[in-house]
C-alpha cells in the first residue's frame, strides 16, 4: 500500500515540481494550499488568490486531489505579531524562520497527519535524512538557514524533492512536463505579503516619529524617520550626505536615536563572539571540541567557529570577526552539510 503525502503547494515552480516528483515516486499525493495571509496593503495587492489559482491548476494538471487550509489566525499570532513586536523592541526578527517553525512544519504537519497523511513534502532547497537536516545540492539556493528550528521528528516525516536538484534543473523539469508554473518568477519580499518591503509593511501597524542620527563623535548629522526601520550594519537609506558612507552601529528605541559610524573598522561594527537565546539543536547539542561553521544571514558566508555552553548560555566563538551582527536575526550552526541548529542573536 502506497503512502499518502500532502504537498504544500504555493503556486510556484518549486512546489509544483515537488508534487510531480512525489507522484512519479509512487506516493498518493494530495496538494494543499496554505492560506496564511490575505490582507491587501495600500499600494500592494496580496498575491494569494493568483497563487491559489496556480496551485489548483497544477493539481488539476497532475490529476491529484487539492484543498486549501486557512491558517490566517494562527499565522497572525505566531508570525506577524512576532515580527511587529520584534521590530518594536529594536530587533530584526526573521518571519520566514518563524513561519517554518510554527506553521509549515508544525501546524501544517499536524493537520496533514490528522487528515490521513503519512508524510508531507515541501518545495524547499534542503534535504532530510534520518531526521537530519542537510543543505540543498544547489548551494546558491540552499534554504536551510530558514529551516534550522524544525524538529527532528518533523524532518523524519518530510520530503524535500527539489533539494536534490539545481534550480536550473527544476525549471527544465517543469518545462519538459509542461507545468504552467515553469516560467513563473520566484516570489520576493516578505514571505507573506509578496512584493511589499518591510518598511511600508511596518508603517501599517506601527506609529513612528523622526529622530536624530548620531555619529561616532557624538554629533547629530541628520534625522531618520523612525529608529524601528534601521538594522545594525545598514548603510543605504540613511539619507546622510557628506560623501562618506555611514553604517548603523546601534539604536536606542526609548529615545528614538540611531547611532552610526563612518569607520568601517569601528569595533562596534564587528564581533568575534555570538551569544544565543532561544537555542534549538535538531539532533543533539554541539560538542565543544568540534570545529563547526556558522552563518548569520541567508546564503551568507560560512565562518569557522566553535560552540560552547557557559553558565547556561550558548556561545559561538568565531574564527574571524563578522560585521554587522543584528540582534533578533539567527546564527545557524553547520557541521559541513549537516545543520546542527542555532539560535537568535542576542
For the annotated catalytic residues, the residue numbers are 99, 191
Distances (CA, A) of 180 to 14, 62, 168: 12, 11, 16
Check if the beta carbon of residue 171 is closer than 8 Å to that of residue 182.
yes
CA distance 270 to 232: 10
b/e code 245-266 from CB counts within 10 Å (16+ = b):
ebbbbbbeeeebbbbbbbeeee
Residue among 268, 246, 285, 281 nearest 327 (CA): 268
Residue among 171, 98, 95, 165 nearest 125 (CA): 165
Distances (CA, A) of 41 to 21, 48, 171: 36, 13, 31
Amino acid at each position: 500500500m502506497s503512502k499518502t503525502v500532502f504537498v504544500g503547494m504555493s503556486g510556484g515552480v518549486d512546489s509544483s515540481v515537488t508534487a510531480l516528483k512525489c507522484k512519479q515516486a509512487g506516493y498518493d499525493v494530495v496538494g494543499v494550499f496554505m492560506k496564511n495571509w490575505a490582507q491587501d496593503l495600500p499600494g500592494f495587492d496580496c498575491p494569494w488568490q493568483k497563487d491559489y489559482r496556480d496551485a489548483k491548476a497544477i493539481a488539476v494538471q497532475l490529476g491529484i486531489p487539492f484543498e486549501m487550509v486557512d491558517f490566517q489566525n494562527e499565522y497572525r499570532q505566531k508570525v506577524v505579531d512576532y515580527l511587529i513586536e520584534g521590530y518594536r523592541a529594536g530587533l530584526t526578527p526573521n518571519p520566514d524562520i518563524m513561519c517554518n517553525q510554527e506553521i509549515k512544519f508544525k501546524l501544517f504537519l499536524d493537520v496533514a497527519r490528522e487528515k490521513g497523511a503519512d508524510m508531507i513534502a515541501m518545495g524547499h532547497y534542503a534535504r532530510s535524512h534520518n531526521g537530519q537536516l542537510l543543505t540543498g545540492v544547489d548551494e546558491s539556493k540552499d534554504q536551510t538557514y530558514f529551516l534550522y528550528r524544525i524538529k527532528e521528528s518533523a524532518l523524519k516525516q518530510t520530503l524535500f524533492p527539489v533539494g536534490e536538484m539545481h534550480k536550473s534543473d527544476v525549471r527544465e523539469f517543469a518545462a519538459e512536463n509542461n507545468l504552467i508554473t515553469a516560467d513563473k518568477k520566484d516570489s520576493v519580499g516578505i514571505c507573506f505579503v509578496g512584493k511589499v518591503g518591510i518598511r511600508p509593511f511596518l508603517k501599517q501597524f506601527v506609529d513612528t516619529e523622526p529622530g536624530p542620527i548620531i555619529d561616532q563623535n557624538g554629533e547629530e548629522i541628520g534625522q531618520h524617520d523612525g529608529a524601528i526601520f534601521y538594522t545594525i550594519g545598514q548603510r543605504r537609506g540613511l539619507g546622510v550626505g557628506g560623501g562618506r558612507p555611514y553604517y548603523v552601529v546601534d539604536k536606542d528605541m526609548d529615545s528614538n536615536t540611531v547611532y552610526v559610524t563612518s569607520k568601517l573598522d569601528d569595533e562596534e561594527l564587528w564581533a568575534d563572539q555570538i551569544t544565543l537565546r532561544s537555542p534549538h539543536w535538531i539532533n543533539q547539542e554541539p560538542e565543544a571540541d568540534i570545529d563547526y561553521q556558522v552563518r548569520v544571514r541567508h546564503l551568507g558566508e560560512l565562518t569557522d567557529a566553535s560552540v560552547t555552553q557557559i553558565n547556561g548560555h550558548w556561545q559561538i566563538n568565531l574564527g574571524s570577526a563578522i560585521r554587522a551582527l543584528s540582534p533578533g536575526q539567527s546564527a545557524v550552526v553547520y557541521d559541513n552539510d549537516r545543520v546542527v541548529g542555532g539560535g537568535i542573536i542576542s
